[in-house]
Structure 1
């Protein structure tokens, strides 16, 4: 081994140790537990054919996809506006928009309850105006709002950084050729921002797929995969099924991240 190879190996060793300790070993253990459970290897067939588990998986995927699309729309517009315009107190506003990053999921769930719970703000307003308490916190709507709350800050920072790197001369050239504002956005800005939108959207989707704290706080009428895994492990002591569901959750999320990385790479090449 040459001196250069030894140096590279020494620098790579910490990352390799972390990768083995926090990814390879836990994944190997999960697979082993899933295969040695009471259902054996057929546990994966049960996951893919059982209406109960399929419903939980589909609800989780659709909820995460909805949160991702709405987050990209809101954060895309807000991030572009904040980066392109001088706003009074802009630094404070950006800090407030990104403040939810400091909160764990349980705190965010509590905030949703304070807004849309039985004794929340909307319940008080509804009771005063219509004589009925308006609530949404304990279902998918509450979980959607909670996920949206902690997803927007993650995306808006990425969008602002991407907008800062846009070549303004391309937009000026498009306007000089007669393109209107919406066409400039569609044909110039969106293609240039697509890699950042895809990568941040994939992270948003992955975070929503595996988020547990917020769902656990609001878990009155929810059937999402993290809670299903928790119930199988804690309430039913079905460790094999819990491990198999964890693997399925990881595979779905990993597949989405891989597809997003592939498309964002193509987008980067196309806009280079």
Structure 2
């Protein structure tokens, strides 16, 4: 009994060390910092002061919007790529996954080149209409940036799930006279739903905590990662930064926990 128990302890020891060093201790320190002032005062300020509450609300709304749009676009692309074979398909898939190679700062730079003051759209609108259309430094620019790196995660997950679909069910639906929409609604989407929940949760969690893109476009943007950065570095308000960090982590953890129970192991495909 003891001979079998000792190797198990050795196997679990690295997990325990990593969990304590990189999760439990930092979380405990954040809790301590957030309660450094009067108990509950910092958390009440998040609710009562518009700067913090709007930052939290804006971040959640933005993350939900990015997740929904990513799921819609990536599901249609993933199903098309799975069900059709054509020349250059492998190249197209590699191009779709290309954004995963870039850090958030580079993606923010792409958005500036597209919708910045000297971007392509600004120059085109100036030539055609006599005024510059600039959106890179607004929520629209941040939305597009988050969408840029979220879509590949969902596309890869959808393709992996779609390849495992039972073609017999699809053929049975067609033989019974079901339309394309009915097959999609009653067969395809229910089969893909666990993977969509998993990849959607990853999109949401990534959008909630993404910093590099927001930092690049942060002229008029008030999202939670930037608020935490400002409170920590510029205002030296460590209690507020810790409290906001804990709230951000709690929201994303709840999202991932729901996906863990509703989704499948394909959750790891989106990471």
Global fold match (TM > 0.5): yes
1:75-224 map, 5 Å: 75-224=74-223
Structure 1 residue runs of 4 or more that deviate by more than 4 Å after TM superposition: none
- Number of equivalences: 264
What TM-score does the superposition give when structure 2 sets the normalisation length? 0.94
- Once the two structures are TM-superposed, the CA of residue 200 in structure 1 deviates from its matched residue by 0.3
Corresponding residue of 1:270: none
SS in 1 for 2:114: helix
Q: Which runs of 5+ in 2 are unaligned?
A: 265-271
Corresponding residue of 2:3: 3
Q: Is the 8 A contact 1:216 1:227 kept in 2?
A: yes
> Could you report, residue by residue, the CA deviation over 1:211-247 in whole angstroms, capped at 9, with x for unpaired residues?
0010010001101011111111111110000000000
SS in 1 for 2:165: coil
Distance 2:163 2:2 in 1: 43
Q: Is the 8 A contact 1:140 1:222 kept in 2?
A: yes
Measured at CA, do residues 192 and 120 of structure 1 come closer, stay the same or move farther in structure 2, by a change above 3 Å?
same
What TM-score does the superposition give when structure 1 sets the normalisation length? 0.94
Q: Is the 8 A contact 1:39 1:240 kept in 2?
A: no
- Once the two structures are TM-superposed, the CA of residue 40 in structure 1 deviates from its matched residue by 4.0
Distance 1:139 1:241 in 2: 25
Q: Which runs of 5+ in 1 are unaligned?
A: 266-272
RMSD: 1.2
- Once the two structures are TM-superposed, the CA of residue 39 in structure 1 deviates from its matched residue by 4.2
Distance 1:17 1:66 in 2: 37
Q: Is the 8 A contact 1:64 1:208 kept in 2?
A: yes
Distance 1:156 1:115 in 2: 23
